[in-house]
Structure 1
Amino acid sequence: MPESPCVACCRLNSEKMCVGCYRYITEIVDWNRRSDAENYAILQKVAERKAQAKRDEATTAQPTTPITQAEWQAAKAAVRLK
């Protein structure tokens, strides 16, 4: 199983993407239940997002918020409905 990119930051930007690991909340929930192929695909997207964030860092500073319990539950429900 691929290792989670989590860095225990858990702060979401306005797009609901964690600024610590560059995953959307729907990609964070159920990480351990996804297939290796799904997680590797997410890791590829994470690398692209991280590179883009580094390029954008000098020009934009977005406010962040911690993940709320309600957001976590809603994302978990959305993932399980798929």
Structure 2
Amino acid sequence: MTTAPSPCINWCDINPENGYCRGCYRTLNEIADWSDMTNSEKLEVWAQLSIRKPQAPQ
């Protein structure tokens, strides 16, 4: 089984309005805990990222 990769893109800047990193859209806790998370937990975070990421106007 392959471990879920980190969504980090090396642009770390926490948005004070919503608490999400502007690069990967994780919270500070998710970033700090990433290496200790199970693969299932990482996949749960990945599932949330597309919801958190602002959608581009059509």
TM-score bin (small chain)? 0.7 to 0.9
Structure (1 or 2) with the larger CA radius of gyration: 1
- Counterpart in the other structure of 2:21: 18
How far, CA to CA, are the matches of 2:26 and 2:44 in structure 1?
11
**Identity of aligned pairs, percent?**
31
* Structure with more helix by fraction: 1
User: Unaligned 5+ residue runs, structure 2?
Assistant: none
Question: Under a length normalisation based on structure 1, what TM-score does the superposition of the two structures give?
Answer: 0.60
Task: State how far apart, in whole Å, the 2-side matches of 1:38 and 1:47 are.
Answer: 16
Opposite residue 43 of structure 2, the aligned amino acid is: Y
Question: Which residue of 1 is the match for residue 10 of structure 2?
Answer: 8
Q: Which has the higher contact order (CA 8 A, sep 6+)?
A: 1
Report Cα offsets for 1:54-75 as digits up to 9, x if no partner. 24xx6xxxxxxxxxxxxxxxxx
Local SS of the residue matching 1:12: coil
- The TM-score, its normalising length taken from structure 2, stands at 0.82
Aligned structure 1 segments of 4 or more residues deviating by more than 3 angstroms: none
Q: What does residue range 35-46 of structure 1 map to in structure 2 within 5 Å?
A: 35-46=38-49
Aligned length: 54
More strand as a share of residues = 1
Give 1:44 deviation, angstroms: 0.2
Gaps of at least 5 residues in structure 1 are 59-82
